[in-house]
Amino acid sequence: MRGPHNIWRLIRTGATFQRTGAMGVVLDAMKAPPSVRVAAHVVGWPFAWLGKKGDPTLPPVTRAITALGPAYIKFGQILSTRPDVVGPELADQLQYLQDKLPPFDQAIARRMIEKELGIDIDQVFSEFSEPVAAASIAQVHKARLAETGESVAVKVLRPGIERAFRTDIDAFHFSARVIEMLLPSTRRLRPTDVVEHFETTVMGELDLRLESASASEFAENTAKDEGFVVPEVNWGLSGRTVMTLGWGEGIPANDLETIRASGLDMHRLGERVLQLFLSHALRDGLFHGDMHQGNLKFAANGDIIAVDFGIMGRIDEYTRRVYAEILYGFITRNYRRVAEVHFEAGYVPADRDVEEFARALRAVGEPIFGMNATQISMGRLLAYLFEVTEKFGMETRTELILLQRTMVVVEGVARSLSPDINIWKVAKPVVESYISNSIGPKALLQDLVLTARVLARFGPRLPELAEAALIRQSEAHVENDRARPLRAMSYVAVGGGLALAAVWVSTLL
């Protein structure tokens, strides 16, 4: 599927933007120079008739994206949270993509639910509404359980969505390979790996059993987070194409006028959204990876209700510590430490100069801290960092793509609620708390205890491991280095002593 025939898809993408009038809107939003505008129109105009027409009742960009397919819609959802990047007018148009896409027929949804769950809907639900929200992958119906009277949200995948997504992602793969071939300088950014990561993430959304599991785990992790609610999964009414959750009653986060009229403290809500995201990422290593306005609600008492758990991010403990130290270094303006962390983690090639890298980071950070709160932006920081990473030969870290992307999205949500929010000031207590618990003496003791327990598990296998090591050493070096097996025996002896000590320590813990 990932062949040259994808050229046609790329041509049609550009043609669709030209035909719908979206090309001009995008160029205006990105403040493209006149030469680029002229070139885009001269090249695009002859092919405009090849583009998809889309829904003429929608604004140009929204019209083009919805016509192109679900993967483009997912990208548009991300941009909808960044008025500082695409401009307030375009961001407002793109908010349509979050949960207001055209739904599919309720009768189709009912048949899919009955087939997936093996139930009679009229017997299980006393009420089953028309779609209340429709996004790129699925739509949601509000229903009431006949047995208990509880209100629930029933999520149903769009029919044929998996095939449609694979078609779009196929074109992305082709584009990535062409970019790497024509622009060798982009290879350090690993565009092919980035698309691979995007595919893995999005395809996980197409099995609602996995989303149910993520929602359940996320609810357990955040159960003690005051003012944060994750609806409970109804496992008996969930399957591969259907998921049923408790209904979260609240004001959608993209309905800013209603939020203002409700009397809720919008500045505090913005702070909480940002702090909760950082807390989940650093404390738990599991965070909501699609935290745009369409997936958040605010209850009358100010609780933040999260929905849609198809994209969840995971980062291991070591990466969390690295990320926290980098953030904290920027917050405290300790650029030397930020540079050292990059080298320690292997993010920067070892042959580069740490002092030079620290100076480059200072050039990134200081202008930002000289700005007022409305100008301080994670998006701006990432843009500056991109320039630095290119200079120092850093490769794209695919394990951090979702974290960085979601950070930008969450910042956009926070700014929509409170435009003058200072993200660094808000983030500081969360990052400080994590560092004090994870990078100090207490963390060192916890790491030693964990290491002891892991070593203890190898105790019964120690003789076997020692014998295998001796055999390998003797076979490889008996002819030309008779001393090495003796050294191997000494290593095994030391290892055996450590393992025995670990067994003893573990019995005391």
Known catalytic residues are 290
User: How many other CB atoms sit within 10 Å of the CB of residue 23?
Assistant: 24
Structure tokens at 139: 């739509």
**Torsion angle of the four alpha carbons 136, 137, 143, 145, in this order, in degrees rounded to the nearest 10:** -160
Neighbours of 336 (CB within 10 A): 15
370: exposed, middle or buried (Cβ count in 10 Å: 0-12, 13-18, 19+)? exposed
- In this structure, the number of other CB atoms found within 10 A of the CB of residue 162 comes to 17
The Cα 497–Cα 502 span in angstroms is 8
| Distance (Å) of CA 387 to CA 99, 347, 357, 404, 422 | 35, 15, 12, 16, 24
- Count CB neighbours of 339 within 10 A: 25
Element (H, E) at 229: strand 228-229
State the number of CA atoms in the 13 A half-sphere of 191 facing the CB.
Answer: 18
Q: How many helices (H) and strands (E) does the chain have?
A: 24, 10
Dist. CA 291–CA 325, nearest whole Å: 23
Residue 362 CB neighbours (<10 A)? 15
Which residues, 6 or more positions from 298, have their beta carbon under 8 angstroms from its beta carbon?
250, 251, 253, 259, 262, 264, 269, 304, 305
How far is the CA of 410 from the CAs of 85, 289, 302, in angstroms?
Answer: 14, 10, 18
Contact 240, 210 (CB under 8 A): no
